[in-house]
A and B are shown apart, each in its own frame.
Chain A
């Protein structure tokens, strides 16, 4: 194929080479508008990201409140009937201890307010059942439970009612106690996260603590909280066989209800990519040579002829060159996940769970070194950056399978394969949406 310039090339290069039409009249205004928009987008980048982060924080906050409400509201339904009975007995004992002279007509030193509380708690019971235990404590033996009018007010002291509590337990038929115990255990196994069964196992059968969901952590609040630190390695596929790695580290906060899990947190991710540059330079190159005439003289041997003395001279000129080169760019992202999960299986040592949810990703830093040119025999014309610009914020959808190894009641080692798909392209003006696959490893701590 002929590679030289031909007539068509000349026709167009000469015809359009100096083509310099006037741009439309409003072009400068458009450029100014575009420039101010670019500057304002740089300045307001974080505030715009904030508009996305704030709703996310609000969602996490609301989810926490909802979980707390569900926990408080749902707690009594998981407790067995016998636990309510016990609670009622404790409540009736307290006011008599504090005010022993406040004697009721039935002989019990029951404060009216506390009595209402006790009835409210017992309201879930069948009428006959709680009638037997409080209003009509006949099943108890006469020697242990005083009859109405037989006890002087001064006898209603702490010691006496301590005795009464114990004796009240004795009023349950043995079969009711066993049924209650079994219901308690079944409820616990059904609703309590299996990964922590081992932790509370010893106290699960303790009747005195049946109404406390987690006896060991009774006074730590109602929301179970897990904190974690982790590191992640990811392989990101940008399409067209372009793969790059990213590494991240972060912390997580999660809570659960039953086998359901809600997790959020934050992580810093370092992502590598190629910078693409074209280096334009001029070098003084040889174009060829010519014979330079040094001197000439008539040839004595051949009259009428001239003899030329020449020497070869090289011809050099400044020639433009261009080559493409890559540099290593590094980008730093802040990522905030909001994952919902479900625990598939757990025993005392091991648990398996799955999680999925959105991840908000925001670029917080970039290091884009330009190409270097160090040829002393050439002069650099320019270095053109062909690296496509990255978008500053993105959303991802993540799905993970978590494998936990419980090394102690509070500590769990975590290994989690994670798959992510980006909801928007990473590069501006491109359509390909990357995907990533990674491994997350870390440590969970139960507060």
Chain B
């Protein structure tokens, strides 16, 4: 099995087998990211296709510094943002003037974490409105601050915070509904 660096160099030299190996190695984790950022599987497939085309066309800009997987993930996330860039202004327009509200879930996180099937969690994320989902993903999975998210999406920090808060509320309702079916309760 080739190392990442060797694999990249072979891809850069136009080796089709190496390109396929790179795809095999990283397509799973990148497809998982794509699924989180879009509404359904069909959109995720389109996004993954565009992302890999971009990965192979910009592989020469990697520079062999830092983690290659991290570079791939960032590229996919950027591609996901661009996927919605046309409608970004509209996504956040309705909440542009919103001030951050005080969350009413100030109770300590004493509840034991529950676990739900990945498919259920994914469905919940995908069912969020586009703006909520985008901010939630960037904040929770990419560990970006509201300042970074605001800069990246060209929105205000308050908008980012509001979107995150609303996303959490919606997800909490969905999680509680799911757990209610299983007769389990959770605090958040």
Give the distance in Å from the alpha carbon of A380 to the alpha carbon of B65 in the complex. Answer: 7
Give the distance in Å from the alpha carbon of A176 to the alpha carbon of B56 in the complex. Answer: 85
Tell whether A219 is near chain B: CB-to-CB under 8 Å.
no
Q: A11-B116, A19-B36, A381-B70 are in contact. Are A6 and B168 (CB under 8 A)?
A: yes
Give the distance in Å from the alpha carbon of A5 to the alpha carbon of B101 in the complex. Answer: 17
Q: Evaluate contact between B28 and A430: CB separation under 8 angstroms.
A: no
Give the distance in Å from the alpha carbon of A92 to the alpha carbon of B6 in the complex. Answer: 93
Chain A residues positioned under 8 Å from B3 (CB to CB): none
Tell whether A324 is near chain B: CB-to-CB under 8 Å.
yes
Q: Evaluate contact between A7 and B186: CB separation under 8 angstroms.
A: yes
Return the contact of B148 from the options A9, A10, A322 (Cβ within 8 A).
A322
Tell whether B23 is near chain A: CB-to-CB under 8 Å.
yes
Tally of chain B residues near chain A (CB < 8 A): 69
Q: Evaluate contact between A27 and B82: CB separation under 8 angstroms.
A: no
Q: Evaluate contact between A14 and B53: CB separation under 8 angstroms.
A: no
Return the contact of A9 from the options B58, B74, B140, B186 (Cβ within 8 A).
B140
Q: Evaluate contact between A7 and B146: CB separation under 8 angstroms.
A: no
Q: A13-B141, A23-B45 are in contact. Are A382 and B58 (CB under 8 A)?
A: no
Return the contact of B115 from the options A15, A280, A370, A380 (Cβ within 8 A).
A15
Q: Evaluate contact between A24 and B188: CB separation under 8 angstroms.
A: no
Chain B residues positioned under 8 Å from A19 (CB to CB): 32, 35-36, 118, 122
Tell whether A282 is near chain B: CB-to-CB under 8 Å.
yes
Q: Evaluate contact between B32 and A16: CB separation under 8 angstroms.
A: yes
Chain A residues positioned under 8 Å from B111 (CB to CB): 7
Could you tell me which residues of chain A, from 56 to 113, have a CB within 8 Å of some CB in chain B? none
Interface size class of A (residues with CB under 8 A): 35 or more
Given A21-B32, A382-B66; 12 other pairs, CB 8 A cutoff: A3-B146, A7-B186, A12-B141, A16-B122, A16-B125, A27-B49, A280-B74, A380-B66, A382-B70, A385-B61, A386-B82, A388-B82
The chain B residues found within 8 Å of chain A, CB to CB, are: 20, 23, 27-29, 31-32, 35-36, 45, 48-50, 52-53, 56-58, 61-63, 65-67, 70-71, 74-75, 78, 81-82, 85-86, 89, 100-103, 105-106, 109, 111, 113-116, 118, 121-122, 124-125, 136, 139-141, 144, 146, 148, 151-152, 161, 165, 168, 171-172, 175, 186-188
Cross-chain pairs A/B with CB under 8 angstroms, 25 sampled? A1-B102, A1-B103, A1-B165, A5-B140, A6-B105, A9-B168, A11-B115, A13-B141, A14-B113, A15-B121, A16-B141, A17-B141, A19-B32, A19-B118, A19-B122, A21-B31, A22-B27, A27-B49, A35-B56, A278-B152, A282-B66, A322-B152, A383-B61, A384-B75, A384-B78
